[in-house]
Amino acid sequence: MNSSRLSLSSKLARGAMLCILMAPTAGLAQTDPCCDLQWEQVGAGTSVSSMMGVLALAEFDEGTGSGPSLFLGGEFFIGGGGLDIARWDGTALSVVGVAGQQPNGPVWSFATFDDGMGEDLYVGGEFTTVGGFTANGIARWDGTSWSSSGGLVSGGGAVRALAVFDDGTGPALYAGRGQGVGGFSGGLFKWNGTSWSAVSGLSSPSINALQVFDDGSGSGPALFIAGSFTSISGTVYNDIVKWDGSTLTALSGPSGTGSDGFILALEEFDPGITPFTSSTRLYAGGDFDNAGGVLSNNIASWAPSAWDDLTGASGTGVGGSTQPFVSALEVFDDGSGSGAALYAGGAFLTAGGMTALRVARWDGMEWSAVGDGFDSNVAALLAHDDGSGPALYAGGFFSNSGSVAARGIARLVACDPCRADFDGDGVLTLFDFLAFQTAFTDMDPEGDFNCDGLFNTFDFLAYQDAFDDGCP
């Protein structure tokens, strides 16, 4: 008999019996066996036509009432006259500002900041004009128009990094200059609302990344500055330094200081592997063999007085290409049930000794591939919800992910975090169990809850595990 024709009392009795027969699990979160994550094109057929690639991603709410949009920066063009910067609103890519008045050079960085005039999107890069006025590497967008914010680049170099940091005098916007396509200029600069000033003692290093992070040393949050430099004012730092607003501190372990190459990306991440205490560390990606004297292969983590490698069962760090490097780091929960993980993108073909084409996932213990990866380098990663659900966006120089066309921009849509909610009302009740039972009896694909192609007791066990875990 089809269970959809059973009386409600019969269904309740049958469901209750199944609940009695199946012993509850220990309550640990279960990995979703049906979560097959793959990259998809952004724009449903309208993708970035790239001359170089997408170099930066940011989330910014323009105040239209539709929520934050995803902003893309780099060196590219899209239909409608968009050049080097574009907006994704969940439906289409569009021009930012007036067509023909976008930045006239690559966009490398973004940050949102309120300097007393409302929150704006600050855009850094290697351009000289935007919106019809002189910009010299940095400008701001308020949601409707461009405005000047001084200038930081002339005669070469690029604003490669932007971050908001409180040095003890209140939150301020900081900009890091570094190597550009057309040349070099370095230094850390602070915005006071009307002009930029060089930070004393930090006017020369070539900077690629800025990250505010509390390393647990007791001094509170500090600005970590990374790039390609050996020393500052005669002190060796090797590509990364901690600045608390007044003092520079080297990141040194028992075997060495900083990296032996250069650093391109920073991100903080807590894999949650230390019970009852925080295991948050600062992760650095770039082109280096060692960090703090520890063999790391292009990615490493830092906590006070120690650098650590990211070693899985089959190997350490990333590699596999002629000159492998990590250029993007982002934390994202893919909805598979295993929690948030650190995603790394760049120019590599393996992670932890396993195939991972230019993007990989680190869960704190092991490396894994992310879908089919990409056919060329990844330069930026960002978690963003465009209204259709959480997703991880990737920007870069690629054209495809496997057989999927995705020129310059793609996204990895998170799996349903609560598959046990069969009736979709956001609450787990006996009616969800009954709906699952109906799907199982009818041999509906949703009834194959463990996705093994069979309909048996293991589907009920998998469903009960998911039900017991609850919804986030």
Residue 467 pLDDT > 80: yes
Q: What is the pLDDT of residue 258?
A: 97
Q: Which long-range contacts (CB under 8 A, 24 or more apart) does 307-312 make?
A: 307/251, 307/253, 307/256, 308/281, 310/283, 310/352, 310/362, 310/367, 311/352, 312/351, 312/352, 312/353, 312/354, 312/365, 312/366, 312/367
For residue 193, name the pLDDT band (cuts at 50, 70, 90): confident
Residue 9 pLDDT > 60: no
Report residue 460 as tokens: 């009920």
Are residues 17 and 377 in contact, defined by beta-carbon separation less than 8 angstroms?
no
Q: CB under 8 Å to 181, separation ≥6 — which residues? A: 75, 105, 106, 126, 158
Q: Which of 135, 266, 123, 288 is nearest to 208 (CA)?
A: 266
DSSP β-bridge partners for residue 111: 122
Percent of the chain with pLDDT over 70: 87
Residue 228: how many CA atoms within 13 Å on its side-chain side? 15
Residue-level length of the chain: 472
> What is the DSSP pairing of strand 82-88 with strand 359-362?
unpaired
> Residue holding tokens 């007036």?
98
At residue 418, what are phi and psi to the nearest 5 degrees?
-145, 70
Q: Which helix (H) or strand (E) holds 14?
A: helix 8-21
> What is the DSSP pairing of strand 299-303 with strand 306-309?
antiparallel
Residue 376 pLDDT > 70: yes
Alpha carbons 402 and 372: distance in angstroms, whole number: 5
List the domains of the chain with CATH numbers. 3-34+423-469 (no CATH), 39-413 (2.130.10.10)
Longest dimension (CA), the chain: 83
Higher pLDDT, 382 or 49: 382
Residue 46 pLDDT > 60: no
Q: What is the pLDDT of residue 159?
A: 95
Q: Where are the beta strands (DSSP E) in 179-305?
A: 187-191, 196-198, 206-213, 222-228, 231-232, 235-236, 240-243, 248-250, 252-253, 256-257, 262-269, 281-287, 290-291, 294-295, 299-303
Residue 188 pLDDT > 70: yes
Q: What is the pLDDT of residue 288?
A: 98
Q: Which of 98-107, 263-272, 276-285, 385-394 has the lowest mean pLDDT?
A: 276-285
For residue 110, name the pLDDT band (cuts at 50, 70, 90): very high
DSSP annotation of 449: T
Are residues 369 and 396 in contact, defined by beta-carbon separation less than 8 angstroms?
no
Higher pLDDT, 350 or 219: 350
Higher pLDDT, 319 or 133: 319
Residue 277 pLDDT > 90: no
Residue 17 pLDDT > 70: no
pLDDT (average), residues 84-106: 90
Higher pLDDT, 16 or 313: 313
Alpha carbons 254 and 450: distance in angstroms, whole number: 47
Which pTM was predicted? 0.85
Q: What is the mean pLDDT of the chain?
A: 86
Residue 292 pLDDT > 90: yes
Q: Which of 9-18, 151-160, 325-334, 456-465 has the lowest mean pLDDT?
A: 9-18
Radius of gyration of the chain (CA): 25
Higher pLDDT, 67 or 451: 67
